[in-house]
Amino acid sequence: MNIYVSNLSFNVKDEDLKEFFAPYGEVTSVRIINDKVTGKSRGFGFVEMSDEAASKKAIEELNDAVVDGRNIKVVEAKPKEERSFRGGGNSGGGGYKKSRW
């Protein structure tokens, strides 16, 4: 099961999150999401666990737990939605326009 964890301190690393969930069962992957430009944590991430019952127990017990001074939010991750192509149309690019004067 994929678990969404938010309100993480910017100091929490992947390894820290894995250690926090490990007592509940096998953690198959952990990924804290980082900003593409700065490389710093965005304050949320995902934990994947192999056992569904263990995942549900971890969600129940770790939601609102304090990690590095912050109350984290832990919920089952929702599937990523497909993004539709929003191209086309004339939505005002930044094109060059000649002056009429």
Residue 68 is assigned to a structural domain of this protein: yes
Which pLDDT does position 35 carry in this prediction? 94
Residue 2 pLDDT > 70 = yes
Residue 83 is assigned to a structural domain of this protein: no
pLDDT in tens, 11-56: 999 999 999 999 999 999 999 999 999 999 999 999 999 999 999 9
Which pLDDT does position 81 carry in this prediction? 73
Which pLDDT does position 92 carry in this prediction? 56
Provide the domain count of the chain: 1
DSSP structure string for 70-99:
EE-EEEEPPPPPPPPP---S----------
pTM of the full structure: 0.77
CATH code for position 12: 3.30.70.330
Strand order through the sheet with 27-34: 27-34, 41-49, 2-6, 73-76
Which pLDDT does position 80 carry in this prediction? 75
